[in-house]
Amino acid sequence: MCFSAGVSAGLGYKFRYVVLAIWAVVAVLGGVLGGGVFDRLGETPTLSPRAESKQAGDRLHQLVPDGPVMIAVVKGRDVYDKALVDQVSGIVEQVRKLGPVAKVDDLYSSPGGQVSGDKLAMTIRVKLVDGLSEDERHGAEDQVKTLLHQISAPEVLVGGKELTERAFQEQAMSDLAIGEGVAFALLLVALFVIFGSVLGASIPLAVAVVSILVSLLALRLLAGVAPVSEYTVNIVTLLGLGLAVDYSLLIVARFREDGRSARRTIVISGLTVAASLLGLLFFDEPLLVSMALGGCVVVLVSAAVAVTLVPAILAVAGHRLKPAKVSDRLLPKLAGFAQRNAGQVTLWTVLGLALLSVPFLGVDLQNSDARALPASQEARRSYDAYQKMTGSAARPLDVIVEADDATPQVRDYMNKLLRLPGAHRLALDSDAPEGTTIIQLTPKGETTGAQARDLVTAVREVPTPFLVRVGGEAAEVVDYRSSVAKRLPIAVLAVLLATFALLFWLTRSLVVPLKALVFNLLTAGASFGLLSLLFGTLDLTTPVLLFVFVFGLSTDYEVFLLARITEARRNGLSDDRAVLDGITRTGRVVTAAAVCICLVFAGFAAGQLIAVRELGVGMLLAVLIDVTIVRGLLLPASMTVLGRWNWWPSTTRASSTLEGSR
């Protein structure tokens, strides 16, 4: 069939040069203006503003305004060596004279200076003034670091909470650049092998570039009204590359057959992936909302670019495009085996995927701290050195009491706190203004470990006649888990209903969409379980993000296959033959798309940030499981088991049609 018969009904063919010109202009604008989003990226809170720990932190800052704190660990030299004492004292004096510096504590001029047991390490604590803008704070941090690094010691490591957050932002951008570079290089090779020509390889990459540039332009506009996290840009690139390649491959593979059907498939696929990402909007955490908006933008842009730009390119140069060289034998062979052994394959694949999910039930979810940074980062090395020097003591809970500590009720309350299981030490902040009490309650074990989290819950359950807010790192973990657990059922239900509705629109069946939802849940569960085995501890946001991404991409491949299977069945093939025909004809597209998207995820799995690496590895595992076990085995086996009931309630009408065709 000629090319024009397949795609001439689309705008991309009729107005090919107009479409090419429009996307070229928008892409240039995205390149020129969209890059400005990197200057507008900010720290997007992980916690809801309604979380008690967030309110406690805000109240603490209101009561005792404190600027950012930098902690330097000077190690490897006798701290009482006269030459070192003189040098440190001189440099500390220079630091004190800096305008943005509020206070400096060191071993020689401040009471209670910290020193290691072997007298070979000490700390210098620098507090900056409160209210600095981000640029002012960065400038002050750089000045202080430059001075402190002049100390003549084997190691001078400068860190702190704000420096750690800054290191996370810089590492995220570095991982983004490396991930993009690796992914593009691998994709270029893979696509050249698939198409055997530069033209064929360049079409999906062109769509990816345009999609990402346009999405960055949209994010810049979004940043003007809502906070946009640096991690949102990572998500945009990850999904933009993967989906653009997926959609481009489908249209290129089918441009000689039925372009209208391919475009409809992509529209449905894009809507289902976007619907999955919109599930994040049901959560109360600004970071998740930011990622939802960024993800939806790139999904819808990728679909729009694919259904318009790719046909326009093919209308101009499609006659020079060679057929794809990807073998289509893997999925058809798996499908044939599954249909011949339908009952056993269905049973064992479901059991196997369910068993792979089990390790996730015991996974430990934690907030990413400095330990999630690469070991080469100074903020990470400073954290490790400080923890080793102080004996890895847990950081305290902040208990903010709206009553004076001199009252009998508050004294009685503090005694109750000390008797709680998991409480190790209690101290009062002497800077608390009159009428309030700031209690620092140190838990046993690790800062955010099980004992610390249980202590947070126990403190909050102690009845009081006054208002109490509990904050601190352990409280933040407790609040995040509680918020996500509370809203997760609503988010999951919304994703399931939206996906079900879109698949029903595609298949006119109630059973097939229901099975697809179950298969997607099995894929997500198995990938969660394997990820838990590989990493042990996962970042708090990883399971939520991974769920919506895996669910969306699993549905993406489901749509590709079901569209073909539905077409084959409506053309008169029996149920089993329709399934095998759909998998055979779409298998090479799904295989090629899976290979390419795995290369994209591999690029991001090579990132240095643990949270980004977890997402990359998790998505890689999910795609491999979905394409081979679920689409290759479970889908055809289950459809053979159910037979014509797959298409209920249209079973009777479809059966009559099939009987007549025979």
Mean pLDDT of 559-586: 85
Q: What is the pTM of this model?
A: 0.84
**Boundary of a domain, candidates 417, 451, 471:** 471
pLDDT band at 658 (very low <50, low <70, confident <90, very high): very low
Distance CA 446, CA 392 (A): 8
Q: What is the CATH number of the domain that holds 416?
A: 3.30.70.920
- Judgement on whether residues 182 and 318 belong to the same structural domain of the protein: yes
Residue 52 lies in a domain: no
Q: Is the pLDDT of residue 330 over 80?
A: no
Q: Could you give the count of Cα atoms lying within 13 Å of 227 in the half-sphere of its Cβ?
A: 13
Query: Total structural domains in the chain?
Result: 3
- Judgement on whether residues 529 and 433 belong to the same structural domain of the protein: no
Domain enclosing residue 536, as ranges: 3-40+166-365+478-661
Backbone angles phi and psi of 536, in degrees to 5: 80, -65
- Judgement on whether residues 110 and 250 belong to the same structural domain of the protein: no
Residue 370 lies in a domain: no
Q: Is 489 exposed, middle or buried (0-12, 13-18, 19+ CB in 10 A)?
A: exposed
**Boundary of a domain, candidates 419, 445, 471:** 471
Q: Is the pLDDT of residue 661 over 60?
A: no
What sections of 508-609 are H helices per DSSP? 511-535, 542-570, 575-605
Per cent of the chain over pLDDT 90 is: 41
Distance CA 372, CA 367 (A): 9
Residue 388 lies in a domain: no
- Check residues 235 and 48 and name the one with the higher pLDDT: 48
pLDDT one-digit tens code per residue, 495-542: 999 889 988 988 889 999 999 999 999 999 999 999 999 998 888 888
Q: Is the pLDDT of residue 662 over 70?
A: no
- Taking all residues of the chain, what is their mean pLDDT, rounded to a whole number? 86
Q: Is the pLDDT of residue 112 over 80?
A: no
The helix (H) or strand (E) run that includes residue 246 is: helix 230-254
- Judgement on whether residues 177 and 130 belong to the same structural domain of the protein: no
Q: What is the pLDDT of residue 257?
A: 58
Strand order in the sheet with 423-428: 423-428, 437-443, 397-401, 468-471
Q: Are 288 and 541 in contact (CB under 8 A)?
A: yes
- Judgement on whether residues 316 and 428 belong to the same structural domain of the protein: no
- Judgement on whether residues 24 and 112 belong to the same structural domain of the protein: no
Residue with tokens 């498939």: 265
Residue with tokens 């060191």: 106
Distance CA 445, CA 616 (A): 31
Which of 209-218, 260-269, 320-329, 455-464 has the largest mean confidence? 455-464
Q: Are 514 and 500 in contact (CB under 8 A)?
A: yes
- Judgement on whether residues 275 and 413 belong to the same structural domain of the protein: no
Residue 571 lies in a domain: yes
Strand order in the sheet with 101-105: 101-105, 121-128, 69-75, 155-159
pLDDT one-digit tens code per residue, 117-128: 889 999 999 999
Mean pLDDT of 546-568: 85
Q: What is the pLDDT of residue 11?
A: 59
Q: Are 239 and 298 in contact (CB under 8 A)?
A: yes
Q: What is the pLDDT of residue 630?
A: 93
Nearest alpha-carbon partner for 395 in 358, 449, 345, 359: 449
Q: Are 483 and 48 in contact (CB under 8 A)?
A: yes
Nearest alpha-carbon partner for 237 in 199, 262, 257, 209: 209
Per cent of the chain over pLDDT 70 is: 93
Distance CA 539, CA 561 (A): 33
Mean pLDDT of 287-302: 88
- Judgement on whether residues 235 and 98 belong to the same structural domain of the protein: no
pLDDT one-digit tens code per residue, 584-634: 888 778 888 888 888 888 877 887 888 888 988 999 999 999 989 998 999
Q: Are 243 and 305 in contact (CB under 8 A)?
A: no
Residue 282 lies in a domain: yes
SS3 228: coil
Taking phi first (over 0 means left), then psi (-120 to 50 degrees means alpha), and beta for anything else, what does residue 76 get?
left
Residue 591 lies in a domain: yes
> From the centroid of its chain, how far is CA 102?
37
pLDDT one-digit tens code per residue, 149-165: 999 999 999 999 889 98
**Boundary of a domain, candidates 471, 491, 506:** 471
Q: What is the CATH number of the domain that holds 135?
A: 3.30.70.60
Distance CA 622, CA 76 (A): 46
Structure tokens at 659: 């009987």
- Judgement on whether residues 273 and 153 belong to the same structural domain of the protein: no
Q: What is the pLDDT of residue 242?
A: 84
- Judgement on whether residues 487 and 607 belong to the same structural domain of the protein: yes
Looking only at the bridges linking them, the beta strands covering 537-539 and 364-366 are parallel
Nearest alpha-carbon partner for 179 in 233, 223, 246, 215: 233
Which of 26-35, 222-231, 344-353, 652-661 is predicted least confidently? 652-661
- Judgement on whether residues 27 and 176 belong to the same structural domain of the protein: yes
Residue 652 lies in a domain: yes
- Judgement on whether residues 205 and 296 belong to the same structural domain of the protein: yes
Q: What is the DSSP letter of 540?
A: T
In angstroms, the Cα distances linking 530 to 465, 534, 618, 632 are 48, 6, 8, 20
Q: What is the pLDDT of residue 165?
A: 86
Nearest alpha-carbon partner for 288 in 44, 525, 471: 44
In angstroms, the Cα distances linking 166 to 45, 156, 230, 423 are 14, 19, 11, 32
pLDDT band at 328 (very low <50, low <70, confident <90, very high): low
Distance CA 590, CA 10 (A): 23
Distance CA 276, CA 630 (A): 19
Distance CA 194, CA 175 (A): 27
Residue 290 lies in a domain: yes
Q: Are 291 and 46 in contact (CB under 8 A)?
A: no
